[in-house]
Amino acid sequence: MSGTPSVARRAAGTTVSVRRGVLTVGRRARAAWRQSLRLRVVTTTMMLGLLVVSLLGAYLFNRIADGLTEQKIAASQYDARSQTRTVQASWDGSTAKTVEGLNMAARDIMGLIKSSDQASFGYVVMARGLNNTNPTILATAQSGSLGLSSVHRELREAVAKDPTRQQTQVTAVLLGGEQVLAVTVGSAVVVPSAGTYDLYFIYPMTREQQTMAFIQNSFLAAGIILTLLVGAVAWVVTRQVVTPVRRAAEVAGRLARGKLNERMPSHGEDDLALLATSFNAMADSLQSQIRQLEGLSRVQQRFVSDVSHELRTPLTTIRMAVDLIHESREGFDPTVARSAELLAGELDRFESLLADLLEISRFDAGAAALDIEPVDLRTCAERVVASAQPLAARRGSSVTVLPGERAEAEVDERRVERILRNLVVNAIEHGEGQPITVDLAAAHGAVSVVVEDHGVGLRPGEAMLVFNRFWRADPARARTTGGTGLGLAIALEDARLHNGWLQAWGQPGEGSRFRLTVPERSGGSIDRAPLPLEPAGMP
Positions that interact with ligand ATP (CB under 6 A): 356, 422, 426-427, 430, 453, 455-456, 458, 466, 471-473, 478, 483-489, 512
d(CA 127, CA 138): 8
Region of 126-134, 279-287, 424-432, 523-531 interacting with Mg ion (CB under 5 A): 424-432
Name which of Mg ion, ligand ATP, none residue 485 binds, using a CB cut-off of 5 to 8 Å depending on partner kind: ligand ATP
Radius of gyration of the CA atoms of the chain, in A: 53
Member of 455, 487, 511, 530 binding Mg ion (CB under 5 A)? 487
The least distance separating ligand ATP from the CB of residue 373, rounded to whole angstroms, comes to 25
Q: Where are the beta strands (DSSP E) in 347-390?
A: 372-376
Using the minimum distance from each CB to Mg ion, give the nearer residue, 187 or 422: 422
3-state secondary structure (DSSP) of residue 195: strand
Among ligand ATP, Mg ion, none, residue 430 binds (CB under 5-8 Å by kind)? ligand ATP
427 binds, among ligand ATP, Mg ion, none (CB under 5 to 8 A by kind): ligand ATP
Tell me how far apart the alpha carbons of residues 47 and 219 are, in angstroms, rounded to a whole number: 17
| Cα gap 100→81, rounded to integer Å | 27
Q: What is the DSSP letter of 369?
A: -
Among ligand ATP, Mg ion, none, the one that 103 touches (CB under a kind-dependent 5 to 8 A) is none
Q: Name the binder of 191 from Mg ion, ligand ATP, none, CB < 5-8 A by kind.
A: none
Q: Closest Cα to residue 184, out of 163, 167, 161?
A: 167
Q: What angle do CA 394, 387, 319 make, to 5 degrees?
A: 85
Distances (CA, A) of 531 to 101, 407, 439, 442, 511: 124, 12, 8, 8, 17
Q: Pick from 361, 426, 512, 517: which binds Mg ion (CB under 5 A)? A: 426
* Structural contact between residues 515 and 503, judged by C-beta atoms closer than 8 angstroms: yes
Instruction: Name which of 182 and 504 has its Cβ closer to Mg ion.
Output: 504
Tell me how far, at minimum, the Cβ of 467 lies from ligand ATP, in Å: 7
Least separation, in Å, of the C-beta of 474 and ligand ATP?
6
Cβ distance to Mg ion smaller for residue 72 or 472:
472
| Alpha helix positions (H), 36-165 | 37-92, 99-116, 153-161
Count of residues near Mg ion by CB under 5 A: 3
193/398 with CB nearer ligand ATP: 398
**Mask 81-100, x = binds Mg ion (CB under 5 A)?**
--------------------
Give the one entry of Mg ion, ligand ATP, none that residue 168 binds, where binding means its C-beta sits below a cut-off of 5 to 8 angstroms depending on kind.
Answer: none
Residues 6+ apart with CB under 8 A from 196: 128, 129, 131, 132, 163, 188, 189, 190
By beta carbon distance, the residue nearest Mg ion is 487
Using CB atoms within 10 Å of the CB of residue 287, give its burial: 0 to 12 exposed, 13 to 18 middle, 19+ buried: middle
Q: Which is nearer to ligand ATP, 102 or 466 (CB)?
A: 466
Does 422 sit near Mg ion (CB under 5 A)?
yes
512 binds Mg ion (CB under 5 A): no
CA nearest neighbour of 456 among 389, 395, 537: 395
Question: Is the Cβ of residue 72 or residue 515 nearer to ligand ATP in the bound state?
Answer: 515
Rounded least distance, CB 422 to Mg ion, Å? 5
Whole-angstrom CA distances from 391 to 28, 209, 289, 424, 479 are: 65, 110, 48, 10, 17
**CB 351 to ligand ATP: min, Å:** 12
Instruction: Give the residue with the Cβ less far from ligand ATP, 313 or 480.
Output: 480
363 binds, among Mg ion, ligand ATP, none (CB under 5 to 8 A by kind): none
448 binds Mg ion (CB under 5 A): no
**β-pair type (511-519, 399-401):** unpaired
- Give CB contacts under 8 A, 24+ apart, made by 217-223: 219/57, 219/60, 219/61, 220/57, 222/53, 222/57, 223/50, 223/53, 223/54, 223/57
| Residue ranges that bind Mg ion, judged by CB under 5 A | 422, 426, 487
